[in-house]
Amino acid sequence: MATEARRAIGERSTRQRTAVAAVLQEVDDFRSAQDLHQMLRRKGERVGLATVYRSLRAMADAGDIDILVTADGESLYRRCGQGAGHHHHLVCRGCGLTIEISAPAVERWASTVAVDHGFTDAQHTLDIFGTCQDCVDQEAAQAR
């Protein structure tokens, strides 16, 4: 679970792999593997669920997509700004709208905190969840 060699072997270009990459390209927010699988079926693409998982894992390992784990343990995937490096997300709990955020100051702070406590090889997770304006409006409309 600790030190893991990161060798990007395999990487063959198949119809399924391409299809998964394609649906990820179509949406701007985080989707679950099962969601993506459904989207593929609806598009007529015949891809096994296991293959979706395998493809997503490969893409994540290669750093091509972001993974976000919800509070109930489900993994959500999203294509991210190509090689834009490290960034965080502001996610709407209602509609999934996602905004990428950069915060150099916070990066520096996190790094400092780790070093101050003698920690090395530090990484961090930082995500903000809230309700976007549109969803607030919709909730208000429903309550009426």
Partner DNA sequence: TTATCTGCAAACATTTTGCAGCGAG
Partner DNA sequence: CTCGCTGCAAAATGTTTGCAGATAA
Site for DNA contains 44 (CB under 7 A): no
Q: First-to-last CA distance in the chain?
A: 51
Binding range to a second copy, per CB under 8 A, among 8-16, 32-40, 51-59, 89-97: 89-97
Coil, helix or strand at residue 44: coil
Site for a second copy contains 9 (CB under 8 A): no
How many C-beta atoms surround the C-beta of residue 78 within 10 A?
A: 19
Site for DNA contains 38 (CB under 7 A): no
When binding is defined by CB under 8 A, the residue of 22, 50, 62, 103 that contacts a second copy is: 103
**Which residues, other chains included, contact 97 with Cβ-Cβ below 8 Å and sequence gap of 6+?**
28, 29, 91, 132, 134
Binding range to DNA, per CB under 7 A, among 14-22, 80-88, 94-102, 110-118: 14-22
Site for a second copy contains 6 (CB under 8 A): no
